[in-house]
Amino acid sequence: MKLEYIVGIVIILFAVQFFYGVAANPDSEFGGADGEAEGIIAQINPDYEPWFGGIGFEPPGGETESLLFALQAAFGAIIIGYIFGYYKGKGENN
């Protein structure tokens, strides 16, 4: 169980750094770092226009986007849980 405790402490520390981040950046909406990089590109080269785009499906808004991200996580979590459960059950039968 020791490792579980250590990981628990890391998760708590992660929450602490988040709340510190909220206090230190009161106006921040915690947008993506890729969006910030876009801002830097606009500073370096104000004329740059993305030369390609719009092939894939673009979620119409934040709600649909979070749905698709949640599906991605759920799909992965089901596979991990199923396989770990399968082997654990198999191990207990032997």
Partner 1 sequence: MHIFEGFLPSPWWQIWFVVSIPVILYGMYQLNKLVSQRREIIPLLAVAGAFIFVLSSLKLPSVTGSSSHPTGTGMAAILFGPAITSVLSVIVLLYQSLFLAHGGLTTLGANVASMGIIGPFVAYLFYRTASKAGMNFYLNVFLATAIANWATYVVTSLQLALAFPAAQGGALASFVAFGAVFATTQVPLAIMEGALTALIMKYVVQIKSDVLIDLRVLTSAAATKLKETMQ
* Interface positions with partner 1 (CB under 8 A): 3-4, 6-7, 10-11, 14, 17-18, 20-21, 24-25, 28, 30-38, 40-41, 44-45, 48, 50-53, 55-59, 65, 68-70, 72-73, 75-80, 83-84, 86-88, 91
Phi first, then psi: what are they for 73, rounded to 5°? -65, -40
CB of residue 63 vs partner 1: minimum separation in angstroms? Answer: 13
Minimum CB distance to partner 1, residue 14 (Å): 5
Q: Report the b/e string of 40-66 with b at 16+ CB within 10 A.
A: eeeeeeeeeeeeeeeeeeeeeeeeeee
